[in-house]
Amino acid sequence: MTAPVVTRFAPSPTGHLHKGHAYAALQASNFAKKHGGRFLLRIEDIDHTRCNSENAEQILEDLRWLGIEWEEPVRIQNQHLNEYRETAGKLEQHGFLYPCFCTRKDIQREIERAGQAPHGSEGPLYPSTCRHLSKDEQKARIAAGEAHALRLDLKRAMNEIGQELTWQDRIHGEQKCRPELLGDAVIVRKDIGTSYHLAAVHDDALQGITDIVRGEDLFESTNLHRVLQELLNLPVPSYHHHKLLTDEKGNRLAKRDKAITLKSLRESGVSAESLKSQVSSV
């Protein structure tokens, strides 16, 4: 017997939801419905510099308006920061993370100095400067209170894993993982003590998510998520990276564009039914 389907919608309350989020939430909840599965909601608010509880409340209101139903309780990530710390601790214990003291400027300077750096799809990758620090230097700088992030030692991680990773993408077919596109990614940010990647991978496993239905903007992150799942011995869900809604000019919808938030559409008299039919016909 195959496991019952469990999907989730995991918005970050950095602003109000717009049509694109309505589309994404409906994709995830309809998938669960179609398979007689469960649908969960998770508020990804670990980044206290960008998220707030008013936006989170507004998200719940917007989703209710759309007629989307989720299981209670909603998982609120900022109530579980200690869990993410513990999970990072496991990776650290096995030597898969290293402290990185670089500022953005340091990284920029190092990339310019080296004259070349490995590139990901969004530009040059971290040149692994701090990976070469000795244990003594790491300890001394931490003891001196120097702020640091924790980065994945990708080389070491892939040596340990010892095989090529893949994921099943129900939209794009079987994918070979290319974690080198992200390089030595930040797993624990300096400012918030965790990262989207770590918290999402931790929670997806904890919540028993079988099918991750999310936008194509996160396609590349899945390369890293598979590595983390392998290192942490977590189950591997199926993925559905759906297209993103765009405006008439083909640009992605953005939270900062107030005119198309669900709240403002609702307040201007648009009904949930008409919005749903608009987004389901794209």
Q: What residues line the site for ligand GLU (CB under 6 A)?
A: 10-12, 44, 200, 214, 218
Which of 56, 154 has the CB closer to ligand GLU? 56
Which of 20, 99 has the CB closer to ligand GLU? 20
**Residue 131, helix vs strand vs coil:** helix
Which of 133, 234 has the CB closer to ligand GLU? 234
Closest approach of ligand GLU to the CB of residue 136, in Å: 38
Closest approach of ligand GLU to the CB of residue 218, in Å: 5
Specify whether the CB–CB gap between 232 and 96 falls below 8 A: no
Looking at 189-274, which runs of residues are DSSP E strands? Answer: 211-215, 238-242
To which H or E segment does residue 97 belong? strand 97-100
Q: Which of 113, 85, 282 is nearest to 198 (CA)?
A: 85
Closest approach of ligand GLU to the CB of residue 78, in Å: 13
Which of 151, 214 has the CB closer to ligand GLU? 214
Closest approach of ligand GLU to the CB of residue 155, in Å: 26
Cβ-Cβ contacts under 8 Å for 29 (sequence gap 6 or more): 7, 9, 39, 68, 69, 70
| Paired sense of beta strands 119-120 and 123-124, if any | antiparallel
| Structure-token pair, residue 60 | 């719940």
Closest approach of ligand GLU to the CB of residue 224, in Å: 12
Closest approach of ligand GLU to the CB of residue 238, in Å: 14
Q: How far apart are the first and last CA of the chain?
A: 34
Which of 151, 202 has the CB closer to ligand GLU? 202
Distance between CA atoms of residues 54 and 261, nearest Å: 15
| DSSP code per residue over 11-62 | ---SS--BHHHHHHHHHHHHHHHHTT-EEEEEE----TTT--HHHHHHHHHH
Closest approach of ligand GLU to the CB of residue 63, in Å: 13
Which of 111, 212 has the CB closer to ligand GLU? 212
Which of 10, 224 has the CB closer to ligand GLU? 10
